[in-house]
Chains A and B, each alone.
Chain A
Amino acid sequence: MSSIWVICRKELKTYFASPIAYLLMTMFAVIFGFFFWNVVGYFVFMGLQSQMRGGFPMSLNEQVIRPLLQNVSVIGLFLIPMITMRLFAEEKRSGTIELLMTSPVKDTHILIGKWLAALLMYVAMIGVSLINLAILFVYGQPDLKPVLVGVLGLLLQAGGLLAVGTFISTTTRNQIIAGGATFGVCLLLWVFEWVSGYETAAWAKVLGYMSVVTHFESFAKGVLDTKDVIFYLSLIFFGLFLTSRSLESLRWRA
């Protein structure tokens, strides 16, 4: 177990010793800040309308936090490749993979440590949005519970995509290829849902079910649905399983 932590700490240090961590956090802060400003501005506008037309109900959770969470989930698709692309590709390129794989550490510990570090990097990134959320809690009274469920959903979704990205990173020694391929897969897993808008055949349902964004909707509403939790957990497991297979095949082919 301790070896997982050793690997994880090293990966985290690498993120923060390079500009990647700061770049990701800055990009997220700017994009999320824009959405926040946009959504809150719209909320204020609707508030004025509501007063003038005799008060239809307003809710911070429904009208601000929910769209924000959905936005974060989509921003994640774009930034996650940047988190995972170097995890194994760089070790393969520089030859340090030989150090890891000739140390008395299990392959699964190596990959879980790396995946965990990627997840913590993601947490640090979306952690930037706490400043914005704090403003909502200072000037309004949104419900905390749906927010927590939403954050849990984000972590599960990111966990799944990061696992897939980790796998893709083991397949190449080129970071750009790893990042590009991960981005393509993330994008596909997002747009799959669009089919279900007009097509009702079985294959469309399957495609729609595979969309990581669809499964986030209930979390964004503040509803914890086991079906969606299981979807994300199986995506995590699937990604990490492929990673461990890929590492093993590396030994046979290298």
Chain B
Amino acid sequence: MIKVEGLTKRYARNVAVNNISFEVEKGQIVGFLGPNGAGKTTTMRILTCFLPATSGKASVAGFDCLEQADEVKKRIGYLPETPPLYPEMEVAEYLEFVGRLKGIDKASLPSRVDEVLEKLSLVPERKKLISKLSKGYRQRVGIAQAIIHNPEVLILDEPTSGLDPKQIIEVRDLIRALAGDHTIILSTHILQEVEAMCERVIIISQGRVVATDSMASLANQMRGSESVTVQVDGRGSGAPDENQVRQKLESVAGVARVSTQGSKNGLLTFQVDSLKDRSVRADVARAVVGAGWNLLELHTASLGLEEIFLQLTASNDGGKQ
């Protein structure tokens, strides 16, 4: 549905997007994740034909974003970071205007506007001035204008930024509900958002794609090295002290690093990091029990999206600056 090959956008002084490539299948909902200034908005602007790329190709539904811009525009609904609203217009009036702009013919316009108002539960607001709407409602009107012409592709730039938690949940639900009919790309720098909504994630940092994968396999891939939390009983006679346990753990094959998490009420807690692609849980357990100590707790710390993200974007840092 969306195909980006070697896309580069250079401004006078900096490179906003540097040779990125990715593809999005029809009906997918894809998260575009990256820190602020990573090039998310620029990429979206190129896809929506607002900006031309310096080099590389982008196409939507088989149409080139530069050569066949009109065909692409007809198929894309776009919500920029600040919803493009005219405060002096009423909600329904605004949607009619956008509908006409997107080429909906006059006859089917009123029913289309009604449909969209219904879908976004904006019916009671239809006669309200946009300037009188709260931020959450404005965002909804922004989404409404993006889907008014029933586009195949929806591009949403930070659709939940600046909303309160309740509104964020509402907007997320809305986007999930739209996923069946449209291919959606949404950008965000909030990790939970991607976890909550997207099937696939494209992580972008400093103008480069650093990872593109499904949510699950991305997490797996990053879990190559294991991080195990171990708790040993240090109370009573015959119980070990901190250093003894530490030395024991360090001697287990495959362990890269042992760090003390602290001892509270005589409970000694350690974090054991394994070497890459080594599983050490069984060996650690055997070592502790074999020494005659009481093993109270042993579990792997799951690597959240947060850590994955930090690892990916941090490893890219050295390259450019």
Show the binding face of A for B, using Cβ within 8 Å. Answer: 2-3, 6-7, 10, 13-14, 17-18, 94-105, 251-252, 254
Contacts and interface: CB of A to CB of B under 8 A. Distances in A.
Given A99-B98, A105-B101, A254 B51 contact: yes
Interface stretch (B76-84, B166-174, B223-231, B276-284): B76-84
Contacts of A13: 88-89
A251 B51 contact: yes
Interface in B57-101: 70, 73-74, 76, 78, 80-82, 84-89, 97-98, 100-101
A18 B88 CA distance: 8
Contacts of B88: 13-14, 17-18
A14 B130 CA distance: 13
Contacts of B145: 99
Q: Which of B86, B87, B102 has the most CB of A within 10 A?
A: B86
Contacts of B147: none
Contacts of A104: 70, 73-74, 102-103
A251 B86 CA distance: 21
A157 B215 CA distance: 62
Contact of A252 (B52, B85, B100, B103): B52
Contact of B84 (A14, A96, A252): A96
Nearest to A254: B51
Interface residues of B, number: 27
B110 to A, nearest CB: 15
Contacts of A101: 49-50
A50 B267 CA distance: 118
A98 B50 contact: yes
Contact of A6 (B70, B76, B100): B100
B101 A100 contact: yes
Contact of B102 (A2, A7, A103): A103
21 contacts: A3-B101, A13-B88, A13-B89, A14-B86, A17-B88, A95-B81, A95-B82, A95-B84, A97-B84, A98-B78, A98-B84, A99-B101, A100-B101, A101-B50, A102-B76, A103-B73, A104-B73, A104-B74, A105-B101, A251-B52, A252-B51
A121 to B, nearest CB: 15
B75 to A, nearest CB: 9
A104 B74 CA distance: 6
Nearest to B98: A99
Contacts of A17: 88-89
A7 B102 CA distance: 12
B160 interface: no
Given A18-B88, A251-B52, 5 more contacts: A6-B100, A98-B80, A101-B50, A102-B73, A103-B101
Contacts of B50: 98, 101-102, 251, 254
Contacts of A100: 101
Nearest to B106: A2
B139 interface: no
B129 to A, nearest CB: 9
A41 B264 CA distance: 101
B48 interface: yes
B289 to A, nearest CB: 63
Contacts of B76: 102
